[in-house]
Every structure is written in structure tokens, then in C-alpha cells.
Amino acid sequence: MNKEQLLLNFLLSCFIDKSDILESDIDEQMVKFKYFPDFASEDELFFGKVKAMFTSRVSIKLEKGALLDDNKRHKKWFSNKKRELEMKYWDRYRRYLIFD
């Protein structure tokens, strides 16, 4: 098992019984893992990758965000970029639609 998978498994075990996971909860846990001897030499890119793997597998409760109240300055971009995007959250969303 590589280090990414090891950290992902640790992170999953931390939230196994929690239903409302906030991004701030994940960040707090990730800070703690940075002090583990196995991960102390890893950089932010490593932890960011593991966090992305984690958030693509579990449902995250979103905190309050911003609201766009008009679309006058909106530029359509998704159709042109869709082929370039990695749709790593699609499976989680599909499971949410089917089971929740």
C-alpha cells in the first residue's frame, strides 16, 4: 500500500461514524496527520491529493457560500472545458442520487 492510500484509509477511519462532514473538519484532521512520522516529510501537494481522493469518496456538507444575483458578467465556459475536466466527483454524486 502506498502512502497516499495509507493516509486515505486513516482519514476514512476518522469519519466512519460521522454523517455531517465539513471541509474544515477534514482540514483539521489533515493537520494532525502532518505530524505522523510516516507523513512528516510529505509536501502540501501530497496532502491536497489525498484530500481530493477523500472528498471524491464521501459526502461533504457545504458551508455557506457566495450568491450570484445576476448573470450579466457570466461567461459560459463549461461546454468548452468539459473534455479537459477530470470528473472525479461524478461517482459520489451518482451514488447520492441513487441512495440518499
pLDDT average per 10 residues of sequence, the chain (100 residues):
94 90 93 94 95 90 79 82 81 84
Which residues are 61's β-sheet partners?
22
Q: What is the pLDDT of residue 85?
A: 81
Q: What is the pLDDT of residue 64?
A: 80
Residue type, 85: L
Grid-cell match 477530470, residue found:
86
Q: What is the pLDDT of residue 31?
A: 94
Q: What is the pLDDT of residue 66?
A: 80
Q: What is the pLDDT of residue 76?
A: 84
- For residues 83 and 86, give the distance between their C-alpha atoms in angstroms, rounded to a whole number: 8
Q: What is the pLDDT of residue 47?
A: 96
- For residues 4 and 39, give the distance between their C-alpha atoms in angstroms, rounded to a whole number: 9
Q: What is the pLDDT of residue 9?
A: 96
Q: What is the pLDDT of residue 62?
A: 79
Q: What is the pLDDT of residue 79?
A: 84
Dihedral angle of Cα 32, 38, 41, 46, to the nearest 10 degrees: -70
